Amino acid sequence: MLMKRKGTSRFLIRWLVSGLGLWIAAGLFSGITYGNRVEVLIIAGLLLAIVNSIIKPIVILLSLPAILFSLGLFMIIINGLMVLLVSSLYSSLDIANFSAAILAGIVIGLVNYLVTTILEEK
């Protein structure tokens, strides 16, 4: 039972961080729009958390040679692809182009790093 709660809370944190990262990225870059509606960020954050939990590990495994060859920098491309995938699945989140998706992926990754660091200190 304890493991199930830990997994659930980890997913909820991932969901929160994804929505927060999308909100920050939309504020920083003009290529990301969500209609200034909080529910779009909540749903897009949920979809991004699901995509990052299910699809991203498969993509990482398949692109392992590129990740190793680029010393991990290809992960930035993968993060951008995941954001672009969510944008294509959920039309209310509009990512204008691939560079905006990469920038959003970088912001989400930084927010994730900061939140994880803060929570692990406690």
Per residue in 13-43, pLDDT (tens digit) is: 999 999 999 999 999 999 999 988 999 999 9
Overall number of domains in the chain: 1
- Over range 99-117, report the average pLDDT: 93
Structure tokens at 97: 């182009």
Stretch (H or E) spanning 32: strand 32-33
Q: Could you give the angle at the alpha carbon of 34 between the alpha carbons of 30 and 38, nearest 5°?
A: 130
Whole-structure pTM value? 0.88
pLDDT of residue 5: 65
10 Å Cβ neighbour count for 47?
Answer: 20
pLDDT of residue 10: 85
Residue 27 · residue 21 · CB < 8 Å: no
Q: Which residue has the higher pLDDT, 100 or 7?
A: 100
State which residues form the domain around 24: 2-121
Q: Is the pLDDT of residue 48 over 50?
A: yes
- Over range 56-84, report the average pLDDT: 96
